[in-house]
């Protein structure tokens, strides 16, 4: 993934796997900062007690509103369906899958 996508004006939907194998989904326009927050216990209460987290997938969206709608829809899926969406590396709603290096 390029630095331009990690810190851009685009909004990203991201999925991380917690140490207990649960999934956490969020949005950000600065992925490096957000992952650092999660792994230092300052990102979200949910991930603070389930560290470290590992980035599994990212989709890019044109704006925050679209990313929020995608996050809401993604969270409605079962754990198994979320994993299938991640493994498919396909676009999700209006977002393009971003390859993670």
Instruction: Indicate yes or no: pTM above 0.85.
Output: yes
Measure the CA–CA gap between 21 and 2, rounded to whole angstroms: 27
Distance CA 97, CA 8 (A): 15
Maximum pairwise Cα distance, the chain: 32
Banded pLDDT at 101 (limits 50, 70, 90): confident
73 neighbors 96 (Cβ within 8 angstroms): no
Q: Is the dihedral of CA 3, 89, 51, 38 positive or negative?
A: positive
pLDDT tens sequence across 74-99 = 999 999 999 999 999 999 999 999 99
Instruction: Quote the CA–CA distance of 6 and 60 in Å, as a whole number.
Output: 10
For 6-65, the pLDDT digits (tens) are: 556 799 999 999 999 999 999 999 999 999 999 999 989 999 999 999 999 999 999 999
Q: Which two tokens stand for residue 81?
A: 């369906």
30: helix, strand or coil: strand
Domain 3-98 sits in which CATH superfamily? GIY-YIG endonuclease (3.40.1440.10)
Q: What is the pLDDT of residue 37?
A: 97
């Amino acid at each position: 993934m390029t630095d331009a996508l990690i810190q851009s004006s685009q909004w990203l939907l991201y999925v991380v796997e917690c140490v207990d194998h649960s999934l956490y989904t969020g949005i950000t326009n600065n992925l490096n900062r957000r992952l650092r927050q999660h792994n230092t216990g300052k990102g979200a209460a949910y991930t603070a007690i389930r560290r470290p987290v590992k980035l599994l997938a990212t989709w890019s969206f044109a704006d925050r509103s679209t990313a929020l709608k995608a996050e809401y829809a993604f969270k409605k899926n079962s754990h198994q369906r979320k994993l299938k969406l991640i493994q498919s590396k396909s676009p999700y709603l209006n977002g393009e899958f971003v390859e993670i290096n």
